[in-house]
Structure 1
Amino acid sequence: MHLPPPSEHTMVRTERVARRVFSRLNLALLLTGALAGCGGPMEPAPSALEPEGAQDVQAQALTYPSGSSQTVVSRRVVFRNGSGAYQAAAGFEHFRAAGAFDIALHNIRIAEVDAPATREALVLMSAGQKISSSGHSSGVTGQASNWDASCDSVSCPNVSLDGRSLAMKLRALGLFPSGKTYLSVVNDANFDHLFDSDTKQRIVNGFSNWLQAQVRPETRAIYLAGSSRGGCLMMRMAQALRANTALDGIDIYVSSFDGVCRNSQGELGTFDSKINNPVRPWGTFYGAWATNLTAQFPRRDRLHIFHVVGGQEVAPATGIRAFSGYAGSTPPSTGTNLDWGWYKQTWVKWQHKEIGNPYTDPSASDQAQAVAETVDAHLTWLDARLP
């Protein structure tokens, strides 16, 4: 009997299943080999002082290889023309149309890494807020701390994206169809924590309207990822996208790396109730501002969110820290890991900057574990949920 050749979708799915099986088998062989290869007794169980949540993440996260580094051009969504006047960049007109001030929009810089005509999936990743003149690195987008050294009034040529980043790992893995996935990284969203609520909403509208313009009839998935303020931006974009009934046939996936929303503004529904981090290092006060995420996302069909939270105060005595969901009618004093199907949350012991930059900021001895509990944990989660 002659069988027809497998479809492209079937081949992609088969490769993904094979990769999952191989990764798990490889992990099992490594573990059993380590135990069988030494003649002494098995190691004792981890100390009770080791964070339980961290053990859970380590046990579940697979290890993913780095991708290739990529050099891209990051464009300002609003630039200064030869006369010094502000002008909307081609393809980014939605930002200015949303009404935020040009001086704020001028600092938003986006690199379109892959922009194929056919777009079965859209991927958008954002770094956190720039807080110094030296730029800011990101383990999500892959940019280095000096990424903006080449910027002029129009664009930033020669921005290098690290192969160890979430963006480049995902691109190499092919979890979304190769050649049919639109990928952009936001090197600077200028989604300033201290902006007033109206300005923030206009920036969210600009991002959401622009991304929706990338949707094609064949689009079936949107993946948003961001750290710190970029995580809050991606969560707010997910709210806007899921509220649009025209996108009901599209799955929306969101990865938040210690996403930071301003509780004094009620941003993302956060309020002044701190949930303590159950795996915080001894002597620290890590915790996150509570938010009722079920109320924030009333439409949850085809919505998938994973939030890795540490809750370290971003700057001392500022109250700037990540958000946390909670179960029940009132927030607990100390949090727990959550998994509601559509929303998953895992607490980790890492500092805020270590969550956003896990392969550079932790000590050399901690980097592998930090990557496993952040970048690779998100890839494991995403891989398991894709059809």
Structure 2
Amino acid sequence: MKFQIIKNLFWLSIAFNSDQTQAFKPKSDFSVNLERVRYCQEFWCLQQDTPSEYQAWEVEGVSNSRQLHTQIARVQSPERDNVKNLVFVAAGQQPPGNGAENSVTGQRAGYKKDCGVLKKSCSRSIDGRSLARQLLDSEHFPTDETFLAIAFDTQFNQMISGNEKSRIEKAYLSWLKSKAYASNLETIYLAGSSRGGCLVMRLAKAMRADPDFRNIRTVVHSFDGVCKWTQNELGVTSSFHRNPMNSRYLSYYTDLHTQFPYKDNLYLRQLTGGAEVIELSGVHSFAYTAQDTDLGWYSQRWVNLDHTSIGRDMSQDVRNQTVVPFLQHLDDVL
């Protein structure tokens, strides 16, 4: 009898995992309208404009250059009174050129081509294998109740000053808060890759510091998030943990227990590879613990993947180590 029960549970487990894998399979690509926070009104760019939608960047004093190159897609934008879910997904720092692909946002390589500073917006495609594309069909985030935005280029770059980073963070924070009334919100979901991972962690920390937003269920997913230790971003220090799967990789330590004192309804998750972002740069992701861990409010998983693979590779083998576990975590906590 006991053997039969165990056998039944085994097959139920197999069926459940199969159903989950099926649910997280790639979907069709999705078209979005990619907007610039600021754009040039004529060829020489002597006349520029920041649309009313993005006035937070002007109010917070973000430099014109950063505004010009920030590109965001508002994918779902219901009336503020109706918003119960606030969702923001951010790519990592963009290299010189026409833009890099990203497995979190779903943006494709070359998305900047023919979409220069003279264009207020451009139509672009979201890859069906990405985390962002999966969110669009999620039962957790109904279209009529969810504000959902994707930043292809946040301009929250590693080498800019700490003061400029603070201004950019405040702009995103103010803008996102303007999309919903805290009293109506049920879930805040933030996800980011590399520098985008640092940005969403900082945004979550700032929201948790606001009593109006503090107790709202908040889920934050960071894909090898990178914060600058010489600026003590998110409390990151020069101490580090080595990747237990690959001792050549390391991630700088930060005490996330201290960074997030209010842990009710908080679910942070960091995927950590720890490979150097650019060779000889000394830039690595952050980590709280030396081993895989699950503390309820914080979970962390090490992977033996380089930084570029974590942020850009959408092959099924890599996706099963990156995007899919995050989607499973989202299902678990919601």
Same fold (TM over 0.5): yes
Indicate whether 1:26 and 2:26 are aligned.
no
8 Å CA contact retained: 1:139, 1:164? yes
Runs of 4+ in 1 over 3 A off after TM superposition: 22-25, 27-30, 60-63
For the pair shown, which has the larger CA radius of gyration, 1 or 2? Answer: 1
Alignment of 1:1-387 (within 5 A): 24-26=13-15, 64-82=24-42, 84-117=46-79, 118-153=82-117, 154-216=119-181, 217-280=183-246, 285-326=248-289, 335-359=290-314, 367-386=315-334
Would the aligned equivalents of 2:73 and 2:149 in 1 still touch at CA under 8 Å? yes
Aligned mates of 1:101, 1:23 — CA distance in 2: 56
Gaps of 5+ in 1: 1-21, 31-59, 327-334, 360-366
Q: CA deviation at 1:74?
A: 1.1
Structure 2 unaligned runs (5+)? Answer: 1-10
Conserved 8 A contact 2:207-2:214: no
* CA–CA separation in structure 2 for the residues paired with 1:316 and 1:152: 29
Q: Deviations over 1:209-251 (max 9, x none)?
A: 1001111342211100000000000001111111111113421
Q: Classify the secondary structure of the residue corresponding to 1:142.
A: coil
Superposition RMSD in Å: 2.1
Alpha carbons of structure 1 residues 71 and 296: separation in structure 2 relative to 1, 3 Å: same
Q: For 2:37, give the aligned amino acid.
A: V
Give the partner amino acid of 1:26: A
CA distance in 1, matches of 2:230, 2:71: 27
Q: Identity over the aligned pairs, expressed in percent? A: 32
What residue identity is the alignment partner of 1:293? Answer: L
Matched-pair contact (CA < 8 Å) for 1:358–1:374: no
Distance 1:89 1:23 in 2: 53
CA 1:77–1:134 in structure 2 vs 1: closer, same or farther (change >3 Å)?
Answer: closer
- The separation in 1 between residues aligned to 2:223 and 2:276, in whole angstroms, is 14
Equivalent-residue separation in structure 1 for 2:165 and 2:17 (angstroms) = 47
Displacement of 1:256 in angstroms is: 0.2
TM-score of the aligned structures, taking structure 1 as reference length? 0.78
Q: Distance in 1 between matches of 2:195 and 2:270?
A: 13
Residue matched to 1:3: none
Q: Deviations over 1:67-90 (max 9, x none)?
A: 331111211112223473232222
Tell me, in whole angstroms, the C-alpha distance in 1 between the residues paired with 2:248 and 2:264: 35
Query: Relative to 1, partners in 2 of residues 1:131 and 1:168: Cα closer, same or farther, differing over 3 Å?
Result: same
Residues 355 and 28 (structure 1 numbering): CA distance in 2 closer, same or farther, change over 3 Å? closer
Contact persistence 1:67–1:171 (CA under 8 A) = no
State the shift of 1:157 in Å.
0.9
TM-aligned CA distance change 1:232 to 1:62, over 3 Å: farther
Q: Is the 8 A contact 1:108 1:189 kept in 2?
A: yes
Q: Deviations over 1:235-287 (max 9, x none)?
A: 0111111111111342111000000011111111111112100012xxx6111
Structure 1 distance, partners of 2:147, 2:14, is 32
Q: Is the 8 A contact 2:38 2:120 kept in 1?
A: no
Does the CA contact (< 8 Å) of 2:194 and 2:225 recur in 1? Answer: yes
Do 1:61 and 1:380's aligned partners in 2 also have CA atoms closer than 8 Å?
A: no
Over residues 5-52 of structure 1, what are the superposed CA-to-partner deviations in whole Å (9 max), with x where a residue is unaligned? xxxxxxxxxxxxxxxxx995535679xxxxxxxxxxxxxxxxxxxxxx
Offset, 1:201: 0.6
Supply the distance in 2 between the matched residues of 1:264 and 1:313 (Cα, whole angstroms). Answer: 16
- Give the match's secondary structure for 1:173: coil
